[in-house]
Amino acid sequence: MTKISRAFSPGHISGYFCPKTCKNGDKGSIGGGIVITEGVTSTVSYSDKTSVEIIRRGRSGEILTKIIGSPPIEYALSRMNVTARVQTECRLPLGSGFGLSAAALLATVSAADDCFECGYSREKIEAFAYEAEVYSSSGLGDVPACTGGGYICRKTPGLDGEIIRNYDAGEEIAAVSSGPIPTGEIIKNPQILKRAKGAFPSGCPESIEEFFRMSKQFAFKSGILTKDAEEIIRACESESVPASMTMLGNGVFAYGNSAKEILSSFGEVYTMKISESGYSLLQSK
């Protein structure tokens, strides 16, 4: 009988970032963000030819989007030297700053390792996901972020970088998206990256409120802030709700149980919590 393996990874909302080269020469980044309970579930089974189906579901489980193909996933499977049928499922919009490419990679590589009984360590699974993410220019720091939970301060880049994880924030995270921003175009643009480096905050936040202040300041100073996001952030400010722009997506994320109501004036609101853990294998069927 064909083995079917499933794994889940949380997503990651980056609040501020700065590209940095890792000790081993790989591309990476430092920054601050929030690992979120919304993410990607990946189902993997053997196939003689690799195929990937990306499904985004609505609140009632209905299919909102179906996309065939995923270069980062296909790259990772080829590096694992396996061919598989992959289906990934998520609720949040793709390309909108929720770190879903990283989540999809960690979930898929973890499930493929189980499905094909490769016997890889977590470090090796993460290395495949990280290589695919950076090779595909779909992110820099999201894979290291999603190896654990919390709101985080990534002090040094890469999978062996120093990450401080805080879990002292139990209220809701609400987010609204006005559309995607192509991550690759931003992280390959020298002018934007130069401004991001100049806007990068020093130190690590002592509280979730300080994290949002640092992220909002970065969004304004880096020039990445969009008009849509600025309008929504101002509305949150007027109600003293911590908020900032999702990096990299044309959207806003905000903290606290009253945030959802304020964001609801600007579009569909996605609610989630800060994840207490990183990616994990689910019960195989």
Ligand X SMILES: CC(C)(CO)[C@@H](O)C(=O)[O-]
Ligand Y SMILES: Nc1ncnc2c1ncn2[C@@H]1O[C@H](COP(=O)(O)OP(=O)(O)OP(=O)(O)O)[C@@H](O)[C@H]1O
Residues making contact with ligand X (CB under 6 A): 14, 17, 29, 31, 99, 139-142, 183, 187, 247-248
Between 99 and 256, whose beta carbon lies closer to ligand X? 99
Between 45 and 206, whose beta carbon lies closer to ligand Y? 45
Between 175 and 263, whose beta carbon lies closer to ligand Y? 175
Find which of ligand X, ligand Y, none residue 70 binds, CB within 5 to 8 Å per kind. Answer: ligand Y
Q: Which residue has the tokens 């080829």?
A: 78
Find which of ligand X, ligand Y, none residue 90 binds, CB within 5 to 8 Å per kind. Answer: ligand Y
Between 179 and 203, whose beta carbon lies closer to ligand Y? 179
**Site for ligand Y, rule CB under 6 A:** 40, 54, 70-73, 88, 90, 94-95, 97-102, 104, 138-139, 183, 248-249
C-beta atoms surrounding 66 within 10 Å: 10
Query: Least separation, in Å, of the C-beta of 228 and ligand Y?
Result: 15
Find which of ligand X, ligand Y, none residue 72 binds, CB within 5 to 8 Å per kind. Answer: ligand Y
Find which of ligand Y, ligand X, none residue 95 binds, CB within 5 to 8 Å per kind. Answer: ligand Y
